[in-house]
Amino acid sequence: MVSFCFRFSHSRQKNHLSHTHTHTHTRIHAYTSAMADERFDSMLLAIAQQQQGIDGILDTFFSFLGRKTDFFTQPEMARSSVQQVMDRYIAIAEAQQRRAKEAEAAQQQKAQAQAQAGHPTSSRVEVLEDDDEVNAAAAAKAAQAAAERKAQLEKAQKAIDEAKAKQDAAEKAKSEAAAAEQPAEQPAEAFAETTADAPRGLPPTVDNGFAYEKYLFSQSLQEAEVRVPLPATNVRGKQLNVVITGNHLTVGMKGQPAIVDGDLYAKVRAEECMWTIEDGNTVVVTLYKQNAMEWWKTIFLGDPEIDLQKVMPENSKLDDLDSDTRQTVEKMMYDQRQKMMGKPTSEEQKKQDMLKKFMEAHPEMDFSNAKFS
């Protein structure tokens, strides 16, 4: 048996693919186990969807071997290796087809025997009824989860509305105090205390997103993930209608109204975006942001927005950024924390320090009646 061993270097040079021959039982067992490994199904499915079919995914794989390995430097051995893999999986497919035909024949014989005994079979009807029951249960479960998310959204929105009403009242009190020529310090302090912690949007999840009625989203600076629960089980790609453009996303079951359909909060690199099916009941869409230095307030324009001042990227994700980008993100995080506490941002603090130095350098000037913005 011919097995292949990739040796990846730590530099940017091409990887080397060596052909080694072995007949040990351990190697054969390891390779057979690897054949059944489904860890890469989602990735390969995404490639197949991007390439529009099996020809595209094969071309992509062989292109990778040609560009990144020395697989084709030994044409005869490469051709032999591919042929062996082809023969193996054709044999597996033929065996599966043979077993399926045998099972179908056995089922037909059983049905004939039941019919002759006066007990007509209804297995096909039962299977269809079971599928309908399972999908109905899945739809009910999805609807219940959506209702719970909707209730949480309405609760959070109510808290925001109440906080805004309180903030408006504080602003009104401040205006009335200023009109009555009361000292400005006390109303300003009261206003700061009232509005410092006032929410400016929905509270983001730990993944910097939110769970809406029909979808859930999370994000990093570079990408956003949208999870759309489906009202069915064991769903396959051919049953779905998923359309991703630079500024629009549609996800739904074919022949049914779209589950989500709207303009995106910002533009994405549509040619790089992908989607997969998770557990047969959830569509997972990965959107790559065109502006990789922007937090999104929501996925679809018009949906309630999250409070970006409470978005906090993980330190582990910051480690993946280059020094300039990380410095920018850390500055943005600092400014968000300062605003949440009602304190000046880094730019505002810099202006205040410059003003303080100027005032110290010019003690002869009177700044008591000066107003600064």
Report residue 270 as tokens: 């549509």
**For 153-172, how does the pLDDT look when each residue is reduced to its tens digit (9 = 90+)?**
888 888 888 888 888 888 78
Residues 6+ apart with CB under 8 A from 68: 14, 15
Report residue 304 as tokens: 């309630």
92-106, 194-208, 316-330 — most confident range:
92-106
Would you give the distance in Å from CA 269 to the centre of its chain?
14
Q: Which of 194, 186, 201 is nearest to 167 (CA)?
A: 194
pLDDT of 3 reads 38
Average pLDDT over every residue of 16-21: 44
Please state the pTM of the whole predicted model.
0.52
Average pLDDT over every residue of 217-224: 92
At 243, the pLDDT band (50, 70, 90 cuts) reads very high
**DSSP code, position 239:** G
Q: Measured between alpha carbons, how far is 318 from 332 in angstroms, rounded to an integer? A: 12
C-alpha separations of 244 from 152, 272, 299, 305 in Å: 28, 10, 13, 21
pLDDT of 6 reads 42
Report residue 14 as tokens: 């091409």
pLDDT of 321 reads 67
pLDDT of 288 reads 95
Q: Measured between alpha carbons, how far is 277 from 40 in angstroms, rounded to an integer? A: 13
Average pLDDT over every residue of 68-72: 89
> Is a pLDDT exceeding 70 seen at residue 129?
no
At 52, the pLDDT band (50, 70, 90 cuts) reads low
Greater confidence, 342 or 75? 75
Assign 3-state DSSP to the chain and report helix, strand, coil percentages, each to 5: 50, 15, 30
**For 279-314, how does the pLDDT look when each residue is reduced to its tens digit (9 = 90+)?**
999 999 999 999 988 899 999 999 999 998 888 766
Average pLDDT over every residue of 337-357: 78
pLDDT of 40 reads 66
pLDDT of 101 reads 87
Rg, Å, the chain Cα set: 31
Q: List strand residue ranges (DSSP E) for the chain, in order.
A: 2-7, 16-21, 210-211, 216-219, 223-229, 240-244, 248-253, 260-263, 274-278, 282-288
Q: Measured between alpha carbons, how far is 251 from 236 in angstroms, rounded to an integer? A: 13
pLDDT of 20 reads 44
Q: Measured between alpha carbons, how far is 94 from 91 in angstroms, rounded to an integer? A: 5
**Mean pLDDT score of the chain:** 77
pLDDT of 38 reads 58
pLDDT of 184 reads 45
> Is a pLDDT exceeding 60 seen at residue 89?
yes
**What are φ and ψ of residue 260, in 5° steps?**
-130, 140
For the residues of 135-183, what is the DSSP string, one character each? HHHHHHHHHHHHHHHHHHHHHHHHHHHHHHHHHHHHHHHHHHHHHTT--
In the CATH hierarchy, which fold is given to the domain comprising 210-310? Immunoglobulin-like (2.60.40)
